[in-house]
Amino acid sequence: MTHPVVVAAAAASAALGVRAASRHGWLPGGERRWERVNHAGSPATLPGGLGLAAGTVAPLRLTDPAAAWAVTESAMAGALDDLDGRIDVKGLGGHLRLLRDGELTSGVVKILALAEAGLVSVAWSDRRSGRGLGPHTLAGAGLVAGAANLANLLDLRPGRALKVALACAMPLAVRGRPAAAAVVGAGLVVLPDDLRGRSMLGDTGANPLGAAVGLAAAQTLASPGRWVALGVVAGLVLLSERVSFSSVIDTTPVLRAVDRWGRS
């Protein structure tokens, strides 16, 4: 098994390469396609998400192919939503209501892609580890897809999604999970610009971020633990349809302090 430090270093190197390329204007489709306005109304760009996705997947192709699949598919689905998605549709409920009315949005395509990425990656991991397939596989698949979606819901303020993901990924990396180690390496490279509001993860970065952490958790947890983790993640995703995470964080002193740490 490749040491987590080696995986993290490889991920960081790949993320640094993408960051350097983006600063020279080498972006798919041109720079303007990746320009956005952040929550404060200031200009920001999405290459941070590209760097995170590319950095995370780079070492996983050799160390954990199942995780590489989950990260790659999640990033591609996120990029589709970032570049061609409807910005007037909010939340899971909004996309599902449009689907009920006969309109297939990029958000619905992303939901289906995340579900498929979760199922394939967890089934692949379970077969390789000798756990076999069963209800625990479905729980793990839901955990991957749900974590990918939850990371996107947290990516509303600088550094928020990355802080949560890194806090979850570090202990999993210590347990030897390559996906978690890759998140730590790439995430630490992307974090400074994200905290300063210069770049944004977008769906391109947030979805693979959550998927990688979700898969690392699924690979570590026994069957009961998978169901508990899935329940927590699903509960938070459903809660986000009715409650603003930002409002809860801003009115809770400890959460507010952690959330604002490191921002310019």
Query: Can you tell me the mean pLDDT for 186-194?
Result: 94
Span 71-125, pLDDT tens digits: 999 999 998 887 775 555 565 555 566 556 665 566 778 888 999 999 999 999 9
Q: Are 122 and 148 in contact (CB under 8 A)?
A: no
Whole-prediction pTM: 0.89
Output Rg (C-alpha) for the chain, integer angstroms: 17
Helix (H, G, I), strand (E, B) or coil at 99: helix
Burial, 106: exposed, middle or buried (Cβ in 10 Å; 0-12, 13-18, 19+)? buried
Model pLDDT, residue 104 = 57
pLDDT tens digits along 14-25? 999 988 888 777
Q: Contact at 8 Å (CB) between 158 and 194?
A: yes
pLDDT per residue as tens digits for the range 151-186 = 999 998 999 999 999 999 999 999 999 999 999 999
What are the residue boundaries of the structural domains of the chain, listed by start? Answer: 4-260
